[in-house]
Structure 1
Amino acid sequence: MNIVCAETVLAGTPAFQTLGTCTVLPDRAITSDHLQNTDALIVRSKTSINAELLTGTPVQFVGTATAGTDHLDIPWLEQHNIRWCAAPGCNANSVAEYITAALLSLTQTSPFTLHKKTIGIIGCGHVGQALIKKARALNLRILQNDPPLAAQNPTEKYYPLHTLLNEADIITLHTPLTHHGSWPTAHLANFPFFQELKPSALFINAARGGICDYDAWLHAHQQAHLTTSIIDVWDPEPHIRPDCIQQAQLATPHIAGHSFEGKFNGTLACYHALCQHLNHPPTWQPESHMPPPQHPHLEIDAATFSTEEALLHHIVQATYPIQRDDTALRALQPLDEIERAQQFDLLRKTYPLRREFNATTVHLRNATEATEHKIHALGFNLEL
């Protein structure tokens, strides 16, 4: 069994070498020539899977260790009887924690506050549902928009898009990138979208770059109809536009889903799918590859913080200092286009360890019961 694994697949070698010979290659460098003696291919989103790559190869299994599948030509794979798998929901909690960290960061670096705010969540699949839990923990009013889910579940409370755009103080995108069907999402956030957006609303895109028309987004900022944005995904990537980086209040290099758990879950999903495809019992022991968090324990005296938002921000940024990612991306602005693209990929490839909130235990003193509940609901372990 010969397996080719993209180098950004976390723990790819120890996982897949239990099933055969595993060759690791740079994601964007994988070509048809590399696959002439390959049975299975494991990738992430930087590798496009299509006829050009696979025609004339013996590849019979393709796995992507990501939730998104827009880099896979699924109709072609199925037409040629090539088994494929993805990892839906693998990084949903990671993205929800990213948005939690971003919102709390803004409360400390700008006049923004979460008090009495409404969040409009566009796309209520795995990530949307994970974010709803965090939003409830932060006492945000929640408006959900998801036409496909609304059609399947007419009794659930979903709102039309115009309601979210007119009422929400925070608009965040969490749809897949689709170009066809009844509800295509490509350039969903376009000129009319931003024109209808509530003045002073905060806009977030941590889904897919192509869901947003960034020319329309820039125009909305230039016209002062939109003043604050958090952007993690860009169009195009990796050739990101410096004018877009400059305009965003918080700009990060497509790493919202890059917690250790988020990437690890993707690898695990592909591993189990390949085991099933081969009718091979899983023998890899993933627990041995779980690193300790940077801060397994936090000692917090709530009485030393002037506001609850400051307290929550302190706890969250101790586990995920999101401004670090913003600083790293902004450092790419002066570079030429080719070097900027290379460094963008490098930021993602060499992303530092980030464990999720539930890897940290907070030892809390002098907090109200409501604050204790919020910290626990955000995902932290709590000791009083």
Structure 2
Amino acid sequence: MPAMIRRAPSPGYDASAMRILIDEAVWQARALFSDLGEIRTFSGRALSPDDLRAADALIVRSVTRVDAALLAGSPVRFVGTVTSGADHIDTALLAERDIRFADAAGTNSRPVAEYVLAAILLLCERAAVVPASRTLGVVGVGRIGSIVREWAAALGMSVLACDPPLAASGRPGLVDLSALASADILTFHVPLTDTGPYATRGMLDHAFLARLRPGTILINTARGEIFRPPALLASLPGLSLGPAVVDVWPGEPRVDPACVRAAAVATPHVAGYTAEAKERAAVLIREKLAAWLGRPVRPPPARPPSDAGDITVSPAKKAWPAAAEVLCRATGILDADRRFRASLAAEDPAAAFDALRAACARRREFAAFRVRGLDAGDPAAVWLSSVGFRLG
């Protein structure tokens, strides 16, 4: 049977007839989308093909796989995801069926970069070294990697930027993968891809890790599946590498406890989770759906009052240890690590994983905080101001 074709609405389409099925965890789902049609919500992992029988537009998060099985027999003509990554969407299928697709690429770039810098400063403090003495390798210099590169350079770190697809397009200032062997820390910001000369699924295999210098620190906020085999993550402590910081896991939400135990810092896929990022993503998808329908863009609903406050640095801490304290408290990275490890003993660890992610979505970005207790001339204070914190 030929594929069903779902074309864009014709001029004069009655948007009030649009049936929109939207993940209940999307920011202000009903208030934001209600003027575009009839709204129904669903729980992200519980969506079934039957739910789509009466839906024209589908708005999902990363926990929902959109593929031929889900869309079978549905009238869906628009699929939006409030995420930057789209590896949970069969985009080729959508293109084949002429179903409009929209993502929220870039909306969580800042919180991921904030998380990564918190991890870097935390591990530098634990090792009693200053950031300027370390070399950072950034693998993938798109939106997130570019911010990490800029902020790390401002710390005084030597930065090696590696992005083979961009290098092939002629982008200057990039190194190849072999040059990363000289890095002290590697952070990964690549999409999960399966085809082409630069496929990233399984890029972190035994051969790649064997080329790294002893003690190299790995930070993964990309996708858990860049490890091959997935169990390789659990064996990191035996590979002469340094402590690993891991936010993304093979098989989410059912995470292998051995993989969690192998990481120095382990969090439940929350690096990109902030209240601001959730708002930006939802607003962007609403704008794209409205544009597809030929409807005007309107201001988003007002966000609830901020619950972020002052961060007062411990009197005994100055310079970069003080900055590490500020970033860890702002991002909640250590609290997320503690709660994630504790959740592994829950009766249903997969449900606990999702619950932790939902709780972490209340995190705020650096600009929502004021830092007190640092001298204005302290290099750490200058850097904190440059990445968005208010001082005073």
Q: TM-score, normalised by structure 1?
A: 0.92
C-alpha distance in 2, partners of 1:364/1:18? 47
Return the letter of the residue paired with 1:127.
Answer: I
Q: Is the 8 A contact 2:275 2:361 kept in 1?
A: no
Which of 280, 284, 309 matches 2:320? 309
Q: Give the alignment's Cα RMSD to 1 decimal.
A: 1.9
Which of 215, 218, 238 matches 1:222? 238
C-alpha distance in 1, partners of 2:354/2:372? 37
- 1:112 deviation in Å? 5.4
Q: 1:239 to 1:130 in 2, by over 3 A?
A: same
Q: Does 1:172 align with 2:187?
A: yes
Return the letter of the residue paired with 1:198.
Answer: R
**SS in structure 2 of the partner of residue 204 of structure 1:** strand
Q: Is the 8 A contact 2:234 2:260 kept in 1?
A: no
- 1:374 deviation in Å? 0.8
The residue correspondences of 1:173-192 to structure 2 (distance < 5 A) are 173-192=188-207
C-alpha distance in 2, partners of 1:274/1:352? 24
- 1:73 deviation in Å? 0.4
C-alpha distance in 1, partners of 2:129/2:245? 13
The residue correspondences of 1:267-286 to structure 2 (distance < 5 A) are 267-286=282-301
C-alpha distance in 1, partners of 2:385/2:40? 42
Kindly report structure 1 stretches of 4+ aligned residues shifted beyond 6 Å.
none
Q: Does 1:325 align with 2:331?
A: no
Which of 145, 152, 155 matches 1:135? 152
- 1:110 deviation in Å? 4.7
Which residue of the partner structure matches residue 387 of structure 2?
A: 378
Return the letter of the residue paired with 1:227.
Answer: G
- 1:85 deviation in Å? 0.5
Which residue of the partner structure matches residue 248 of structure 2?
A: 233
Return the letter of the residue paired with 2:327.
Answer: V
Q: Does 1:81 align with 2:98?
A: yes
- 1:140 deviation in Å? 1.1
C-alpha distance in 2, partners of 1:352/1:183? 32
- 1:114 deviation in Å? 2.2
**SS in structure 2 of the partner of residue 289 of structure 1:** coil
C-alpha distance in 2, partners of 1:348/1:376? 28
- Which range is displaced more, 234-243 or 259-268? 259-268
Q: Is the 8 A contact 1:137 1:378 kept in 2?
A: no
- 1:259 deviation in Å? 1.2
Q: 1:299 to 1:125 in 2, by over 3 A?
A: same
C-alpha distance in 2, partners of 1:334/1:364? 39
C-alpha distance in 1, partners of 2:195/2:374? 53
C-alpha distance in 2, partners of 1:217/1:63? 32
Structure 2 unaligned runs (5+)?
1-17
Q: Is the 8 A contact 1:194 1:217 kept in 2?
A: no
Which residue of the partner structure matches residue 41 of structure 1?
A: 58
Which of 79, 97, 109 matches 1:92? 109
Which residue of the partner structure matches residue 4 of structure 2?
A: none
Q: Does 1:148 align with 2:159?
A: no
Q: Does 1:3 align with 2:20?
A: yes
Q: Is the 8 A contact 1:194 1:216 kept in 2?
A: no
C-alpha distance in 1, partners of 2:68/2:128? 51
Q: Does 1:294 align with 2:304?
A: no
**SS in structure 2 of the partner of residue 207 of structure 1:** coil
Residue deviations 1:140-170 (CA, integer Å, cap 9, x gap): 111011011112234x111011111x11100
Return the letter of the residue paired with 1:132.
Answer: R
Which of 21, 30, 44 matches 2:47? 30
Which residue of the partner structure matches residue 197 of structure 1?
A: 212
